[in-house]
Amino acid sequence: DIQMTQSPASLSASLGETVTIECRASEDIYNGLAWYQQKPGKSPQLLIYNANSLHTGVPSRFSGSGSGTQYSLKINSLQSEDVASYFCQQYYDYPDTFGAGTKLELK
């Protein structure tokens, strides 16, 4: 199985700040990478797919980039409603595998 290593595990940032979360795959996943947001007690919500495609309805302050084995999620101008956990998913190869998640808090 492809291993997804996500960093950092936790992150504290101020309102208006830009934050970046990264995922590294154990092999090339050819942009088969998605990002999700999960708030406590809630279901995950799709943010980004195909490494850099913004899902319908997702605010444009979220963006994804990367290629090969290295991918990142950037949140511009952090808002209070962005406090959540974020995790990546590779779907290039079966079985789909997920990163361990990044917990984003307000400083």
Partner 1 sequence: EVQLQQSGAELVKPGASVKLSCKTSGYTFSNYYMSWLKQMPGQNIEWIGNIYGGNGGTGYNQKFKGKATLTVDKSSSTAYMDLSSLTSEDSAVYFCARVYYDGTYYYGVMDAWGQGASVTVSS
Q: Does 22 bind partner 1 (CB under 8 A)?
A: no
**18 neighbors 69 (Cβ within 8 angstroms):** no
What is the contact mask toward partner 1 in residues 39 to 78, using x (rule: CB under 8 A)?
Answer: ----xxxx--xx----x-----------------------
Among 64, 97, 102, 104, binds partner 1 (CB under 8 A): 97
Interatomic CA distance for residues 67 and 89, integer angstroms:
14
Place of tokens 């942009």: 31
Q: What is the dihedral of CA 50, 11, 45, 58, to 10 degrees?
A: -70
Does the footprint of partner 1 cover residue 34 (CB under 8 A)? yes
Choosing from 62, 71, 86, 87, the residue that interacts with partner 1 (CB under 8 A) is 87
Give the Cα separation of 100 and 90 in Å (integer). Answer: 12
Residues that bind partner 1 (CB under 8 A): 4, 32, 34, 36, 43-46, 49-50, 55, 87, 89, 91-92, 94-101
